[in-house]
Structure 1
Amino acid sequence: MMTVAAARALRGDQRCFVGIGLPSTAANLARTTHAPGLVLVYESGTLGSKPTRLPASIGDGILAETADAVISVPEVFNYWLQPGRIDIGFLGAAQLDRYGNINTTAIGEYAHPKVRLPGAGGAPEIAASCREVFVVVRQSRRSFVEQVDFVTSFGHGRGHGERAALGLPGAGPTLVITDLGVMRPDASSELILVATHPGVDTEQVRAATGWNLRVAAEVTVTEPPSADELSALRALRAAS
């Protein structure tokens, strides 16, 4: 449901900065179903990749073999990402707070963490410069926290126009998709629940959130995956 919901949010006229894992699965599902014109950009420098299977990493040869062009990593960031040429950036998170700030650095005190995480990679630049950021993460009180332990990738700060005040060009997180539902920022940039997945109610989502989650006046229910979506998703996974 997470993969399908994320795929549905993409359009064929967009350029999407894709990470390995669920974001790559969602982007390739979108490209092979309703959005054949979706341009996939991977951090390794492949522009317009059209893999016939899910890549194992950003260095998977199938990305270069099926790309419109292959450029250097600095070019991806300097000439595509930072000038605002990427419409959607997909990010994951170990921790996410109510304003969409992301932690992938450390759990606990930075100098003496309980857990040292993989770190930033290109995520801070993606969060800063993509026109929009979609976050895909499984929801629990461990991952959805009142305040992240470390701000790896800036979301909306403490809200109320802080991104604009810092001069960040992108809109930041505009969509958060979890295994329970969908959230979007309101006028203050705080994430609110706008949809639940089939079989999930709002209280379940609130119980899995580490802050007092606010709920939209009208919460919709996401459509279950169609037969065509499931068939395309299974085909991608079977080929990998």
Structure 2
Amino acid sequence: MTAYNTNEMMTVAASRRLKNGAVCFVGIGLPSKAANLARLTTSPDVVLIYESGPIGCKPSVLPLSIGDGELAETADTVVPTGEIFRYWLQGGRIDVGFLGAAQVDRFGNINTTVIGDYNQPKVRLPGAGGAPEIAGSAKEVLIILKQSHRTFVDKLSFITSVGHGEGGDHRKRLGLPGAGPMGIITDLCIMEPEEGTREFVVTSLHPGITREQVVENTGWKIRFADNVAETEAPKPEELEALRALEARTAAAHGQAGGEE
């Protein structure tokens, strides 16, 4: 078996969640890496859309931002940002929103705004961008981030993008059209919302990861599904495609892989 690290496991596991032919609204950073790996491996016909207006992007290197020329140059077409949101996203034409996060809670709500008190924060984060609209209107959402007590918290300092709100039917009561987050993929495991409560529970552990490790790196009392699977290890061709993508990106931008 080809050796791999936990970041590679996370990216590969996330890429597999993107179905071939899906229309995907992609966030910069880890979501972009996973979405483009899917395009290069399991889902060659996935349609990648970025906030700045490019549709059907096929970048050879990972973009530095939504304004990276690589996106427009490799897209099937480029439309105004207003059209991306009003016609594509709010019009119900986005199958999957692929998002990163600074913090997430047990119901898949996302914080990318501040850590600590809003008026006197410990850390001021990059902010919302288009994530609140993506989280609200995409047919479903995938979230990718590294797992720790700092990122998986019992109570968010600020809710930037709504997941399942307070759980149960809260999204429906808020009038949000999309199904909300259907998967959280980390460097330790995969979580999915429990039927009814919509609380995220562990459904798959990555190879070599224990339940104790997940518990230790979660800020709430994490629960596990009745039948917890083991995530399939990355295949050689998946690792080859990922490492080649990261190497091209590093050569183009002078940094390693567009990591968040």
TM-score bucket (shorter structure): over 0.9
* TM-align CA RMSD: 0.9
Give distance in 2, aligned partners of 1:56 and 1:112.
29
Q: How far off is 1:63 after superposition?
A: 1.2
Give distance in 1, aligned partners of 2:53 and 2:17.
24
**Number of matched pairs:** 240
Give distance in 1, aligned partners of 2:218 and 2:244.
34
Match of 2:193 in 1: 185
Give distance in 2, aligned partners of 1:20 and 1:99.
22
Match of 2:25 in 1: 17
Give distance in 1, aligned partners of 2:190 and 2:51.
26
Deviates more, 1:55-64 or 1:179-188: 55-64
- The answer to whether residue 216 in structure 2 is matched with residue 202 in structure 1 is no
Match of 1:154 in 2: 162
Residue type of the alignment partner of 2:127:
G
- TM-score (normalised: structure 2): 0.90
- The answer to whether residue 14 in structure 2 is matched with residue 6 in structure 1 is yes
Q: How far off is 1:236 after superposition?
A: 1.2
Q: How far off is 1:180 after superposition?
A: 0.5
Q: How far off is 1:185 after superposition?
A: 0.4
Give distance in 2, aligned partners of 1:55 and 1:151.
26
- Structure 1 residue runs of 5 or longer lacking an equivalent are none
Provide Cα deviations, 1:104-153, integer angstroms capped at 9, x if missing partner.
11111111211111111111001000011111111111111111111100
Identity among equivalent positions (%) equals 60
What is the 5 A alignment of 1:95-134?
Answer: 95-134=103-142
2:234 to 185, 209, 225: 225
Which secondary structure state, in structure 1, belongs to the residue aligned with residue 108 of structure 2?
coil
- Structure 2 residue runs of 5 or longer lacking an equivalent are 1-8, 250-260
Provide Cα deviations, 1:132-188, integer angstroms capped at 9, x if missing partner.
111111111111111111110001111110000111000111100011100000021
Match of 2:6 in 1: none
Give distance in 2, aligned partners of 1:17 and 1:156.
19
Match of 1:32 in 2: 40
Deviates more, 1:51-60 or 1:25-34: 51-60
- TM-score (normalised: structure 1): 0.97
Which secondary structure state, in structure 1, belongs to the residue aligned with residue 184 of structure 2?
strand
Give distance in 2, aligned partners of 1:160 and 1:113.
30
Q: How far off is 1:57 after superposition?
A: 2.0
Give distance in 1, aligned partners of 2:112 and 2:34.
21
Match of 1:56 in 2: 64
Match of 2:73 in 1: 65
**Dislocated runs of 4+, deviation >6 Å:** none
Match of 1:79 in 2: 87
2:171 to 159, 163, 168: 163
